[in-house]
A and B are shown apart, each in its own frame.
Chain A
Amino acid sequence: MENFKTNNSRRAFLKSSLLAGGGLMISFSGLAKFSLDGKINAADLPGEWYELTGYIKITQDNIIKIFNPNPEFGQNVMTSLPMIVAEELDVDWKKVVVEMGPHDNVKLGPQFTGGSNSVRMYWKPLRDAGAAARNMIITAAAQTWNVPAEEITTKAGMLYHEKTGKSGTYGEFASKASAIPIPKEVKLKDVKDFNVVRHSQKNVEGVKIVTGKPLFGLDYTQEGTLIAMIEHPPAFGMKVKSFDAAETLKMPGIKDVFTLKLYEDGYEQAGFDTRTFNDLLVVVGATTWEVMNARKKLKVTWEPKGDTKDKMAGRGGSREVLVPGALESTATHFAKMKEYAAKPAQLLRKDGDPETAFKNAAKVIERTYNAPFLAHNCMEPMNCFAHVADDKALIVGPHQAASWIEPTLSKVLNLPADKIDMQITRMGGGFGLRAYGHTFVEAAIISKKVKAPVKLMYTREDDMTYGIYRPMYTATYRAAFDANKNLIAFHVKGGGIPENPIHANRFPAGAVDNYLAEGWEIPSNITIGAFRAPRSNFNAAAEQSFLDEVAEVMGKDPIEFRLELLKRAKENPVGKNNEYDADRYAEVLRLVKEKSGWSDAANKQYSRGVAAYFCHNSYAAHVVDVVKKDGQPFVERVTSVVDCGIVINPDAATNMVQGAVVDGIGNALYGEQTFKEGVPEKNNFTRYRMIRHREAPKKIDVHFVQNDINPTGLGEPPFPPIFAAVANALYKSEKKRFYNQPFSAEFQKKA
């Protein structure tokens, strides 16, 4: 068994959760009625719950409830995080009731979904919570039975004392246990003894999903709720000059039309406050359809916003960011990127003497890769319910990080945080977009203005044209070879609008003697934000495509070539701060080679491409098999290998990797947002092409590296390398390299 000492903050945390709980807890939050596991109806459950740590409540009848602390957007945390608690608590998973936890950072930790961090950051705290509760129940039983605690064993929510033949349920001792002080030290299970974790468990909300129960933010409502929509400027760089709402106000159901400022002038934005449009033109009415219709009757005059300065909170104090006012177009974006790419850039990393190596090289290759802005296109459009009164606020909605938006709401509403009840719903996708809080602030200030509960709804068009996109990126890679075709120098210079994508300390940094990484940025008024594996999703696409070309110049197999570089990085690493573990990186490549039958003659019928990447502390490799279908290249089969340490819920993890593969293929082939004079040209799925069933692979085989490393990220790591695996397979299929996403644009040109 592993001895885990609870550290100071941990102890304080558990103690405070006990104090707050005070043993007896009654009833549910308003949200509970639709967030319990479908098989047990909360209304039928008894009212008396004994709280053991903020994560666990048990009734005298031994019904065990575990709270999921973190927002669920399809990554399975609603199931996999409670599994971790159940494992250490030692209960029968089938009898556990799972409920979405309240927003309470004292009890339930950071409650943030993003950065592939949910399992990684909760792994220890949840094991600790489960083990501590089990320990407290054992202590209660030992006191009651008057036997030494060490002699009591547990299994599936039961306690046993062999010598006296006594046994009992956790529930019998829950009341007494809830008053016992938190143990200073808890023993954690040996991973080989796991019987919940590492065993596939079904999605606890699976039944509710397939029977259409209310789960999502969009499904939440209350009596008397008004619907609000925002008419935002048609173009980035514009704002409302004036409006005439006479026709709108005549429409049935319409209550009010007004403008509001999202943030007051001089407001200092926190990192995830991103404002897209600060002047809101709002239509409020009784029902969704009435508001949608009436909004179309607005007569609005827009005007250029001009250059503005945003005040942003940052490390080391606030800073001002200049937001240019000019209306931007994709064509001018490309021209500007070319101009910046030719200029001196910021040095990010330099090993050896790359300049001399390139000068003396026998051969140099240079390739440039481009990727467009991407919209997240969550299937559930952005929305939020808010009911703001003078002295309190209720905010319910789909958000990745309630804890980040609450301080902003507190400032904007001028209410103390403890007067703001934030409830977290299931999200119909997030992909990074739902980490940003403007929708929530909008809903809150609209509710405050109309003095009523309000549901803010974005239409698909609103959602797709509201910004917070994945940035537009470009990178030029150069490789230098000596007369024997050895790789002697590597250079990457990358930039973006408005963000430089380059991760300078990632592979192949550390594997090449002479290495140079540089970056540059172009300011823009088009708002951007995190999109599944930010920056990595472009870097992997470009770098792993380029390495394929380097291997080809050297006459090497692409997997063997990467393994040689990794061997070098392990045995004699170049430079400092190399982020990746060369062994783990190499292992996913070795395994994908084996599992895909990379060298098998039987697979010669496929045009095959490989790529691997490290990000979010995990390693992923894919082999993509392309065939021709109806004259077009089609990804028929994918073999994926991931090393994310211990896998909590294997089948759900497999699902997520399969999803990342399809998401990557879709965005690599079709994903793109373009602009003309500031107007986003794609505003619905009529123009924004999404991957469809007929374009999804027939088969995606997923394998996990088996090890006992504490869990690392999974939601993001399999996503970035799929872009390059597709590009490399397309090269084999189409006999030409693909440098510009979305790749399907090139087939269409050909056709």
Chain B
Amino acid sequence: MAAINLNVNGKTVTVDVDPATPVLWVLRDHLNLVGTKFGCGMAQCGACTIHLNGNAVRSCTLPVSAVKNNAIVTIEGISETGDHPLQQAWEELDVSQCGYCQAGQIMSAASLLKRNPKPTDKDIDNAMSGNICRCGTHVRIRKAIHLAAKTQSKK
């Protein structure tokens, strides 16, 4: 066990955990931030995607000791009021079915849009193929990312 300081969604928090604990379980079990989902534990499905310094990473295989001073952002922190262009686009196109994977999808998409504000279908497919959606909302996710890109470019 060790006291570890983290910057999560703009706030500094201290957790007392085994340094090998994946960030996913620190978020879920210790910080009660359950928007980040457990899917596979092997960085294969993307349900646990968060941002580390703005880049999408799989939190289920990232030991908390490796985070150090890098800022963590989760689905709860991607916008103050749930009005990130991607969240709005997801709403507008009613993307979700069961909804379990969607936080991870949005976090991957947000990282993509930061690097590439006008992604093509192929860019989207490449950036998003690490995120599984079992309900099959892929066509709407693609459309929603294009819609959010459009909204962002107008801002």
Contacts and interface: CB of A to CB of B under 8 A. Distances in A.
Interface in B43-92: 44-45, 47, 74-76, 82, 86-87, 90-91
A212 B103 contact: yes
A212 B134 contact: no
B99 A215 contact: yes
Interface of B: 1, 17-18, 20-22, 25, 28-30, 33-42, 44-45, 47, 74-76, 82, 86-87, 90-91, 94-103, 106, 121, 124-126, 128-142
A460 interface: yes
A534 interface: no
B87 A210 contact: yes
A421 interface: no
Contacts of A684: 40-42, 44
Nearest to A383: B38
Contacts of B45: 379, 460, 685, 690
A212 B34 contact: yes
A662 B34 CA distance: 28
Contacts of B96: 74, 203, 205-206, 209-210
A276 interface: no
A76 B95 CA distance: 11
A289 B99 contact: no
A697 B137 CA distance: 11
A63 to B, nearest CB: 22
Given A209-B102, A211-B87, A429 B135 contact: yes
27 contacts: A38-B82, A203-B94, A206-B91, A209-B96, A209-B102, A210-B90, A212-B75, A227-B29, A288-B25, A288-B28, A288-B38, A289-B29, A293-B18, A379-B47, A427-B98, A428-B37, A429-B100, A460-B40, A461-B41, A658-B140, A684-B42, A685-B44, A686-B44, A693-B129, A693-B131, A693-B141, A694-B129
Point out which of B97, B124, B141 has the most chain A C-beta atoms below 10 A from its C-beta.
B97
A104 interface: no
Point out which of A38, A74, A690 has the most chain B C-beta atoms below 10 A from its C-beta.
A74
A10 interface: no
A75 B40 CA distance: 23
A428 B98 contact: yes
Nearest to B33: A212
Contacts of A651: 94
Contacts of A290: 18
Contacts of A289: 17-18, 21-22, 25, 29
B35 A213 contact: yes
Nearest to B77: A212
Nearest to A660: B136
A206 B93 CA distance: 10
Contacts of A537: none
Given A210-B103, A212-B35, A74 B98 contact: yes
Given A378-B98, A659-B97, A684-B41, 5 more contacts: A76-B97, A207-B82, A212-B75, A212-B76, A289-B22
Point out which of B38, B91, B136, B141 has the most chain A C-beta atoms below 10 A from its C-beta.
B136
Interface in A646-665: 651-652, 655-656, 658-663
Contact of A210 (B17, B97, B106, B134): B106
A327 interface: no
Interface string A283-300: 000011110110000000
A748 B78 CA distance: 40
Nearest to B98: A74
User: What are the 4 closest A-B residue pairs judged by CB atoms, nearest first?
Assistant: A212-B35, A662-B136, A428-B100, A74-B98
Interface string A62-101: 0000000000011110000000000000000000000000
Contacts of B33: 212
A379 B131 contact: no
B126 to A, nearest CB: 7
A211 B91 CA distance: 11
B135 A659 contact: yes
A385 B28 CA distance: 15
Contact of B137 (A215, A287, A292, A655): A655
B97 A690 contact: no
A426 B98 contact: yes
Interface string A194-230: 0000001011011101111111101100000001000
A381 B141 CA distance: 22
Given A203-B94, A206-B91, A652-B94, A696 B34 contact: no
A706 B143 CA distance: 26
A681 interface: no
A419 interface: no
Nearest to B107: A212
Contact of B134 (A75, A203, A377): A377
Point out which of A214, A430, A655 has the most chain B C-beta atoms below 10 A from its C-beta.
A655
B84 to A, nearest CB: 8
A307 to B, nearest CB: 35
Contacts of A287: 17, 21, 25, 29-30
A666 interface: yes
A75 B132 contact: no
Interface string A405-434: 000000000000000000000111111000
A252 interface: yes
A661 B132 contact: no
Point out which of B87, B101, B131, B134 has the most chain A C-beta atoms below 10 A from its C-beta.
B134
A94 to B, nearest CB: 14
A699 interface: yes
A697 B29 contact: no
B18 A378 contact: no
A658 B137 contact: yes
B36 A426 contact: no
B136 A694 contact: no
Contacts of A73: 98
Contacts of A685: 40, 42, 44-45, 132
Point out which of A209, A694, A698 has the most chain B C-beta atoms below 10 A from its C-beta.
A209
A700 interface: yes
B38 A381 contact: yes
A692 B129 contact: yes
A459 interface: yes
Interface in A588-637: none
A690 B134 contact: yes
Contact of B138 (A209, A431, A662): A662
Contacts of B125: 692-694
A690 B100 contact: no
Contacts of A74: 96-99, 135
